[in-house]
Amino acid sequence: MSRLADQHFIVGITGGIAAYKSAELVRRLCKQGAQVQVIMTQAAKAFIAPLTLQALSGRPVRDTLLDPEAESGMGHIELGRWADTIVVAPASADFIARLAAGLASDLLSTVCLATSAPVILAPAMNQAMWQKPTTQRNLATLRADGITLLGPADGPQACGDTGPGRMLEPDELIECLTNSQNPGPLENIRVMVTAGPTWEALDPVRGLSNHSSGKMGYAVANAAKLAGASVSLISGPVTITPPTGVELKNVTTAKEMLGAVESSVSGFDIFIGVAAVVDYRPAQVAPTKMKKATQTLTVEFVRNPDILSTVTQQPDPPFTVGFAAETDQPLEHARQKLKNKRLDLIAVNQVGGDDNPFGSDHNTLTLISQHDQVELGRDSKAELARRLVEEIAGRYHAKNPA
Ligand code: C5P
């Protein structure tokens, strides 16, 4: 997966002929899965139409600082917070001077001032303007302030001059931007996640299942992807939207889930079993709808295979993480599962009372390994998933030093 995927970029465009190249930069960022918000200066709009950038980025272009309507949505401070990276391409001599002086005279300069995200400039200007001591002084100030400069390149210019001041080409900028992103802790690691409930049919219309919404498992798959892993998500029946950028396989029963896991788990480094697998299935599945002919009904159930145990019994098992949802003595039961299923780590949540995790966007997790216990506390499932994946990555690398 691209390191740019799901990253939030603000692409700033200032007034210069190289602005036409920014359309291609925006297109390529979006193609790599990045989310792009374009901010244009007034001068930029003389070179390229905002509508082009809106169509390519899928977001209306922002160009005004004192716009009550836009500010009531994502205001200039929120824009600065939203951005993971701000890249200004082309960055004109005027914009560089305003940034070096700390001016907040339009939306782009204000957002650059307000943000704590890295700011990257791709300067573009006439070679004489580039070489002027004033411009060089401003650039030295910006470098000293931690702003990154990409380019410019040397060569023929639109004005007929030859020299330094050409904006880098979009593919060169993309390469630099990719290299500037820290590789996630799970880069080049393959992670398989099971999620959701399973459904064990009794007849064509009835069956046994549980309240699992799949939210925790989907959040874990997404967090692993954001950490750089390539992720396979094997999901029981749920109604939520799967995360983008993960390979999804839908299954219904525990046996199908086991089949999907067994057929490819040998290629994976980490396995995280978040699915609430139904432990028993009806011994017989009636081919047609069962009629209510008797006062009582006895159904025989048989044990479903334990997917986690099957994974840890592989000859070279992946780093394996289980989940435990318990109504009583959760930590004791989880420790037993950690041992019986030969897991590297287990995430425990208590079911019942005010803290029922089923269907909720929040959860409370405790992590238990053979050696330690870590309280992740109560938080959103997205944040808990992020911290769980961070813990898993650290422990995986400690167990498998490079
Ligand atoms: O044994 P118990 O169902 O409480 O264990 C929960 C953990 O085991 C979860 O990680 C769940 O995904 C996994 N599990 C499994 N196969 C089963 C039952 C549970 O992999 N048949």
390 and 185 Cβ atoms separated by less than 8 Å: yes
Is residue 2 domain-resident? no
Look at residues 181, 209, 230 and tell me which one is the last residue of a structural domain.
181
Q: What is the three-class DSSP state of 344?
A: coil
**Helix ranges (DSSP H) in 58-205:** 68-72, 76-82, 93-101, 107-114, 127-131, 133-144, 170-180
CA of 278 to the centre of ligand 1 (A): 8
Confidence of residue 365 (pLDDT cuts 50, 70, 90): very high
Instruction: Specify the pLDDT at position 157.
Output: 87
- The span from the CA of 160 to the CA of 155, in Å, is 10
Q: What pTM was estimated for this model as a whole?
A: 0.75
Provide the CATH number for the domain around residue 223.
3.40.50.10300
Residue nearest to atom 1 of ligand 1 (CA): 337
The per-residue pLDDT for range 44-55, each reduced to its tens digit, is 999 999 999 999
Q: Is residue 31 domain-shared with residue 157, that is, in the same domain?
A: yes
The per-residue pLDDT for range 147-169, each reduced to its tens digit, is 999 999 998 888 899 999 999 99
Q: Is residue 312 domain-shared with residue 211, that is, in the same domain?
A: yes
Q: What is the DSSP letter of 213?
A: -
- Specify the ligand 1 atom closest to the Cα of 311: 20
Q: Average pLDDT for residues 183-192, to the nearest whole number?
A: 93
Residue (of 57, 44, 54, 29) closest to 176 by Cα position: 29
Residue nearest to atom 4 of ligand 1 (CA): 324
- Residue 62: both structure tokens together: 């922002």
Look at residues 150, 181, 212 and tell me which one is the last residue of a structural domain.
181
Residue nearest to atom 6 of ligand 1 (CA): 324
The per-residue pLDDT for range 329-355, each reduced to its tens digit, is 999 999 999 999 999 999 998 776 666
Does residue 286 carry a pLDDT above 80? yes
Q: Is residue 272 domain-shared with residue 346, that is, in the same domain?
A: yes
Residue-averaged pLDDT of the chain: 94
CA of 322 to the centre of ligand 1 (A): 7
Is residue 250 domain-resident? yes
Which has the minimum average pLDDT: 78-87, 214-223, 243-252, 297-306? 243-252
Q: Is residue 323 domain-shared with residue 250, that is, in the same domain?
A: yes
Q: What share of the chain is helix, strand, coil (3-state, %, to 5)?
A: 35, 25, 40
Q: Is residue 177 domain-shared with residue 201, that is, in the same domain?
A: no
Does residue 73 carry a pLDDT above 90? no
Does residue 34 carry a pLDDT above 80? yes
The per-residue pLDDT for range 290-304, each reduced to its tens digit, is 999 899 999 999 999
More confident site: 379 or 358: 379
Rg of the chain over CA atoms, in angstroms?
27
Given ligand 1 and candidates 257, 306, 343, which is best to mutate, with the most ligand atoms within 8 Å of its CB? 306
Residues with Cβ < 8 Å from 278, sequence gap 6 or more?
197, 198, 199, 200, 208, 209, 210, 254, 304
Q: Is residue 131 domain-shared with residue 100, that is, in the same domain?
A: yes
Residue nearest to atom 2 of ligand 1 (CA): 324
Given ligand 1 and candidates 194, 253, 307, which is best to mutate, with the most ligand atoms within 8 Å of its CB? 307
Within a 10 A sphere around the Cβ of 165, how many other Cβ atoms?
28
Q: What is the three-class DSSP state of 242?
A: coil
Q: What is the three-class DSSP state of 257?
A: helix
Is residue 173 domain-resident? yes
- Specify the ligand 1 atom closest to the Cα of 324: 6
**159 among known catalytic residues:** yes
- Specify the ligand 1 atom closest to the Cα of 309: 20
Q: Average pLDDT for residues 55-80, to the nearest whole number?
A: 91
- The span from the CA of 214 to the CA of 220, in Å, is 10
Does residue 181 carry a pLDDT above 70? yes
CA of 226 to the centre of ligand 1 (A): 25
Instruction: Specify the pLDDT at position 56.
Output: 98
Q: Average pLDDT for residues 69-91, to the nearest whole number?
A: 92
Instruction: Specify the pLDDT at position 67.
Output: 85
Q: Is residue 300 domain-shared with residue 167, that is, in the same domain?
A: no
- Name residues contacting ligand 1 (CB within 6 A): 194, 254, 273, 275, 277, 279, 304, 306-308, 322-324, 337
Q: Average pLDDT for residues 79-107, to the nearest whole number?
A: 97
CA of 373 to the centre of ligand 1 (A): 20
Q: What is the DSSP letter of 85?
A: E
Instruction: Specify the pLDDT at position 277.
Output: 98
CA of 326 to the centre of ligand 1 (A): 11
Within a 10 A sphere around the Cβ of 304, how many other Cβ atoms?
18
Which residue segment(s) compose the domain that 24 sits in?
8-181
Q: Is residue 24 domain-shared with residue 159, that is, in the same domain?
A: yes
Does residue 118 carry a pLDDT above 80? yes
- Residue 213: both structure tokens together: 């919404």
Instruction: Specify the pLDDT at position 334.
Output: 96
- The span from the CA of 378 to the CA of 102, in Å, is 41
Look at residues 181, 201, 217 and tell me which one is the last residue of a structural domain.
181
CA of 338 to the centre of ligand 1 (A): 11
- The span from the CA of 60 to the CA of 330, in Å, is 49
- The span from the CA of 190 to the CA of 322, in Å, is 17
Given ligand 1 and candidates 211, 308, 348, 388, which is best to mutate, with the most ligand atoms within 8 Å of its CB? 308
Is residue 392 domain-resident? yes
DSSP secondary structure, 258-316, as one string: HHHHHHHGGG-SEEEE--B--SEEESS--SSPPP--SS-----EEEPP-HHHHHHTSSS
- Specify the ligand 1 atom closest to the Cα of 274: 12
Q: What angle do CA 252, 258, 259 make, to 5 degrees?
A: 90
Q: How many domains does the chain have?
A: 2
The per-residue pLDDT for range 251-266, each reduced to its tens digit, is 999 999 999 999 999 9
Is residue 319 domain-resident? yes
